[in-house]
Amino acid sequence: MSTASNSMLKSLGRWLPGLIISTIAILLLVRFSNWPEVFSAISGIKLGWLIPAVGFFLISIGLRALSWMILLQKKVNYGRVFITLNEGYLLNNIFPFRLGELGRVFILSETTNVSGFFVLSTIIIERMYDLAIAAGLFLATLPYVFSIASGQTIAVVVLVVGMIGLLTLFLLARNRSWISARLEDFSLRRFILRDRIVPRINSLLDGLGVLASFDQFILSLVLMILSWLFGGLELIFISRSFGVELEIWMVAFILGMISIGIAIPSAPAGLGVFEAAAVGAFSLLGLSTTAGLAIAVVSHFISIAFTGLIGVYGIFRDGESITGIYNHLRNMRLFNSNP
């Protein structure tokens, strides 16, 4: 078998699990949803509510970029961070396994003087924030719905993983000088370790430095929570555009369930899984699943469309191409760059 065929089979193998899950979700939505009513609801959407929803979405993304800039210890200006964040979302919407996160690492390391490993550590912190917030929302609102043992177990696991992850990162940040010193001592006569591995580990540890600063840690976390808050306002206004009024705890439950749902492997952009998680949340709340699906479709479209537009602009402004970035990541060239 040729090298090209082997490469194609490996790529298919990486994509297949997510594609299967998304396909199942889409088939269930097709089978059990009343699509004529969904399209009718979308065609009757009230723009007076939808336009502010788009504004809240953009504010949410802007706050998330600001939080990431703090995590980056302000080594990169806000404009560059905002564009790169959206470039990452664009790549996530095209490629599987949230490859856009590595895309962000590659883009920032190529366009700034910041180490790729430094950037990677900040994205890990950001992911831990999201896991903890999503699980916290789900657990806090679950008693308002009813006892769901399996869902509660999943949320508890996600929350525990997120908290353990943050605690581990905090301990690494607080002790990074000691760890670096030990690594330097260990690598004195091991030239490969000293010249290639240790500098990268040090860059990774430096990226965790924000956790050692209480003020910067709280600021980045508060900004991330505010980003989620405006995401909730976006959901409220999209729902109102369909004539659906949601209570605050319902919004929190839906956001938590969608976030936990799309954490599982799926096709790029969480296609099908995003909508299925939203429909499941609306069903558990005793709300119209037709309205829930229509709301999910519009919300998902807004996210893909606006991050995609900004992401495409950023990639072409940087003189890159989507396929070029994918090839860099597939060949792991970002990890061969200077630390």
pLDDT in the model for residue 13: 55
Tens-place pLDDT, residues 268-297: 778 889 999 999 999 989 999 999 999 999
Q: Write out the two tokens for 309.
A: 């537009």
Q: Which is more confidently placed, 22 or 250?
A: 250
Tell me which residue has tokens 């399209």: 39
Question: pLDDT for 289-314, tens place per residue?
Answer: 999 999 999 999 999 999 999 999 99
| Mean pLDDT for the stretch of residues 99-123 | 89
258 and 266 Cβ atoms separated by less than 8 Å? no
Q: How confident is the model at residue 334 (pLDDT cuts 50, 70, 90)?
A: very low
Higher pLDDT, 68 or 9: 68
pTM of structure: 0.82
pLDDT band at 141 (very low <50, low <70, confident <90, very high): confident
Higher pLDDT, 198 or 35: 35
d(Cα 138, Cα 148) in Å, to the nearest integer? 11
Provide the pLDDT confidence category of residue 218 given band limits of 50, 70 and 90.
Answer: confident
Burial class (CB in 10 A: 0-12, 13-18, 19+), 194: middle
How confident is the model at residue 125, as a pLDDT? 84
Task: Indicate the range of 9-23, 76-90, 96-110 predicted with least confidence.
Answer: 9-23
The total of other beta-carbon atoms located within 10 Å of residue 129's CB is 24
pLDDT category of residue 11 using cuts at 50, 70 and 90: low
Residue 337 is predicted with a pLDDT of: 46
- DSSP output for 261-311: HTTS--SGGGTTHHHHHHHHHHHHTT--HHHHHHHHHHHHHHHHHHHHHHH
313 to each of 304, 306, 322, how far by Cα in Å? 14, 11, 11
Q: What is the mean pLDDT of residues 313-338?
A: 76
Please check the confidence at residue 148 and state whether its pLDDT lies above 60: no
Select from 97, 93, 106, 102 the least CA-distant residue to 11. Answer: 97
Residue 338, pLDDT > 50, answer no
pLDDT digit string, tens, across residues 226-241? 999 999 999 999 999 9
